[in-house]
């Protein structure tokens, strides 16, 4: 089952671990590997018959910064000839019976990276093995070791490149101990022991290449953390699963915590094709890396990770292991069948292992887990808006006088009457912005204007360098700071202007600068109530629809107040009238009731009988 988890100020989608795993109290393991060699027993020669080592018990890597040897990277291998040999990285102890086990502590110059370098490692060369920590141990049928046999000569490593990108390189590692040659041939995947965030859950310590995904689920969480992007968790499976996302048989669940576009109607949420890369900023076309976090005493996994079910014992510790994705790409494309998607992943875990795979024509049933009913959003946008002002000749500015102690200007970018391009009707953006400037400003001052937090009717929120949130005028039209798009008119001669998309602006900023009083630049970064972005740049001529010289009032001088509109509201904030302040008949025409009248910076409550 999927949940949302709030961790300090970071809210991301979290996939819950099995309930029993959450209840366990587990020891916190060190990320430092403890390497030991058994001492105290006399050295004993082993059988001279050549031996094959077929099992990689442990492949560990330390970058130079954590290797303990200046300028050297460390590769620590535990190889055995039996599959049931185990090595404790916290104790440095080996559990084995009737087995040969090789401990190889190898060093190479810094810069080789996590792949094991090829060549011959000697006790004192540039490629070097630590003679004190490298040996061959033989265990009897009671699990007792012989104390170890030293390595003679060197450790030779060669590599055969993989035949395809979905396969791994193969290695041959050979050495001689007490006259007997030991050889390992096969894949060799190393774990970066200095990386990763795992402290509790068992980790997958090998590459996982060429995964073939056959099914998927998606969980839409909407606009988490007001990121203005749509958070969606998708699960990719190469085995059977239930409707809640749990693995019902052996297999892999790749859980990808990605951010795509918002959906105003969450019932229409779906995957969005594109290339997603790792990031922590919740931007579109990114996915969040995987990690373990402590939440109220429970260690949870969040972000992007692999959950593998490798057994069916009923024990979470025995059945599951994990790896956390730290880098890579997720590519989503439309499938060949309608409503399906093709997905390709090329990922790297926080321990340095590769996770690659693909799925073709996968349908993703989407479960809507977004929060609903938080606010009444006046917008029908379904995607971000990139404003297009190519056909706009000029911006137009109007003075709305002094309101609640600030000078208010309305600026139109685009025209609903088609003044900018009368030959081509419709298919045009209109952005109307209502700026609050210091009282007495004759021109719109330069600066950054931010949307006020609440409705424009709350007078104590007015202040210089704010934008008024959108509202409806007494004729039912949207005004304030609003966006509208006029659909293309199929019959230009009839001059129809019909709005097909609209949005009241709820948040964001507009940067205002000018080269002179007749040329303004607006840098627009606004959002509607869903979180869709309305953005663009206007840099053209300004046309004035008032006389800037007439605005001389400071603190509401009488001649300025006379120019202000009088606005009449109901007690619940509905605008009824917007008329000239000298119009004495405006109130007389209203039905009986209590009204709020605002003129300039004066607010009065009246009773109409």
pLDDT tens, position by position, 206-250: 889 999 999 999 999 888 766 778 899 999 999 899 888 889 999
Cα–Cα distance measured from residue 371 to residue 252, given in angstroms and rounded to the nearest whole number: 30
Q: What token pair was written down for 70?
A: 């200046």
> DSSP assignment, residue 225?
G
Torsion of CA 416, 420, 422, 427, to 10 degrees: -60
Q: Are the CB atoms for 408 and 436 separated by under 8 Å? A: yes
pTM across the whole model? 0.55
Distances (CA, A) of 448 to 150, 283, 406, 525: 73, 23, 16, 11
> DSSP assignment, residue 559?
H
Cα–Cα distance measured from residue 227 to residue 497, given in angstroms and rounded to the nearest whole number: 34
Quick one: pLDDT at residue 137?
Answer: 93
Burial label for 604, CB within 10 Å (0-12, 13-18, 19+), is: exposed
Cα–Cα distance measured from residue 462 to residue 152, given in angstroms and rounded to the nearest whole number: 84
Strand partners, 87: 94
Cα–Cα distance measured from residue 121 to residue 157, given in angstroms and rounded to the nearest whole number: 8
pLDDT in tens, 40-64: 444 444 455 778 999 999 898 999 9
Determine the 3-state secondary structure of 585 from DSSP. Answer: helix
Quick one: pLDDT at residue 13?
Answer: 37
Helix, strand, coil shares of the chain, percent, nearest 5, are: 5, 50, 45
In sequence order, the 6+-apart residues with CB closer than 8 A to the CB of 161 are 169
Residue with tokens 């130079």: 64
Cα–Cα distance measured from residue 54 to residue 478, given in angstroms and rounded to the nearest whole number: 75
Quick one: pLDDT at residue 15?
Answer: 39
Q: What token pair was written down for 422?
A: 């009368």
Cα–Cα distance measured from residue 37 to residue 108, given in angstroms and rounded to the nearest whole number: 21
Cα–Cα distance measured from residue 176 to residue 155, given in angstroms and rounded to the nearest whole number: 8
Determine the 3-state secondary structure of 65 from DSSP. Answer: helix
Distances (CA, A) of 443 to 394, 400, 545: 16, 12, 12
Given a cut of 70, the residues of the chain with pLDDT beneath it are 1-48, 197-199, 225-226, 372-376, 416-426, 455-460, 474-476, 489-497, 552-565, 571-573, 579-589, 599-609
The residue among 536, 534, 545, 540 whose CA lies nearest residue 392 is 540
Give the number of other Cβ atoms within 10 Å of residue 419's Cβ: 14
Cα–Cα distance measured from residue 357 to residue 308, given in angstroms and rounded to the nearest whole number: 14
Element (H, E) at 210: strand 208-213
């Amino acid at each position: 089952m999927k949940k949302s988890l709030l961790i300090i100020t970071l809210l991301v989608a979290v996939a819950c671990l099995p309930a029993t795993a959450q209840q366990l109290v587990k020891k916190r393991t060190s990320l430092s590997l403890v390497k030991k060699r058994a001492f105290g027993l006399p050295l004993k020669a082993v059988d001279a018959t050549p031996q094959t080592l077929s099992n990689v018990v442990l492949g560990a890597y330390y970058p130079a910064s954590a290797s303990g040897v200046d300028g050297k990277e460390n590769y620590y291998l535990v190889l055995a000839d039996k599959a049931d040999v185990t090595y404790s990285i916290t104790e440095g102890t080996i559990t084995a019976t009737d087995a040969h086990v090789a401990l190889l502590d190898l060093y190479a110059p810094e810069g080789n990276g996590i792949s094991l370098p090829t060549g011959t490692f000697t006790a004192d060369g540039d490629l070097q093995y630590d003679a004190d920590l490298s040996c061959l141990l033989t265990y009897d049928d009671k699990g007792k070791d012989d104390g170890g046999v030293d390595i003679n000569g060197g450790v030779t490593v060669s590599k055969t490149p993989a035949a395809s990108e979905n396969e791994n390189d193969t290695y041959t590692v050979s050495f001689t101990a007490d006259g007997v040659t030991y050889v390992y041939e096969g894949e060799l995947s190393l774990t970066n022991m200095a990386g990763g965030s795992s402290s509790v859950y068992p980790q997958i310590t090998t590459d996982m290449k060429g995964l073939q995904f056959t099914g998927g689920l998606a969980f839409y969480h909407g606009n988490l953390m007001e990121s203005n992007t749509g958070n969606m968790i998708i699960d990719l499976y190469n085995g059977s699963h239930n409707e809640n996302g749990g693995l019902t048989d052996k297999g892999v669940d790749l859980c990808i915590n990605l951010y795509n576009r918002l959906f105003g109607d969450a019932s229409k949420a779906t995957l969005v094709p594109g290339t997603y890369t790792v990031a922590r900023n919740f931007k579109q076309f990114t996915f969040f890396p995987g990690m373990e976090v402590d939440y109220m005493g429970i260690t949870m996994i969040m972000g992007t990770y692999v959950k593998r079910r490798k057994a069916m014992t009923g024990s979470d510790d025995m059945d599951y292991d994990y790896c956390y994705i730290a880098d890579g790409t997720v590519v989503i494309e439309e499938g060949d069948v309608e409503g399906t998607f093709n997905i390709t992943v090329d990922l790297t875990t926080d321990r340095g292992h590769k996770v690659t795979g693909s799925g073709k024509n996968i349908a993703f049933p989407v479960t809507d887990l977004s929060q609903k009913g938080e606010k009444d959003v006046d917008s029908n946008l379904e995607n971000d808006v990139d404003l297009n002002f190519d056909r706009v000749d000029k911006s137009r500015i109007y003075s709305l006088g002094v309101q609640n102690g600030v000078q208010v200007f309305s600026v139109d970018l685009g025209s609903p009457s088609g003044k900018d391009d009368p030959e081509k009707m419709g298919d045009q953006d209109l952005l109307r912005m209502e700026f609050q400037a210091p009282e007495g400003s004759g021109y719109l001052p330069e600066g950054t204007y931010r949307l006020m937090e609440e409705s424009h009717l709350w007078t104590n929120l007015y202040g210089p360098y704010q934008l008024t949130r959108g509202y409806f005028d007494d004729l039912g039209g949207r005004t304030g700071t609003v966006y509208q798009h006029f659909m293309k008119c199929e019959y230009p001669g009839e001059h129809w202007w019909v709005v097909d998309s609209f949005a009241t602006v709820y948040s964001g900023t507009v940067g205002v600068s000018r080269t002179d009083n007749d040329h303004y630049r607006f840098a627009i970064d606004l959002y509607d109530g869903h979180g869709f972005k309305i953005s663009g740049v206007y840099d053209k001529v300004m046309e004035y629809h008032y006389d800037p010289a007439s605005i001389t009032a400071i603190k509401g001088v009488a001649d300025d107040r006379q120019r202000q509109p009088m606005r009449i509201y109901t007690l619940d904030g509905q605008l009824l009238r917007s008329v000239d302040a000298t119009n004495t008949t405006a109130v007389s025409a209203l039905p009986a009731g209590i009204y709020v009248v605002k003129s300039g910076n004066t607010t009065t409550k009246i009773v109409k009988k």
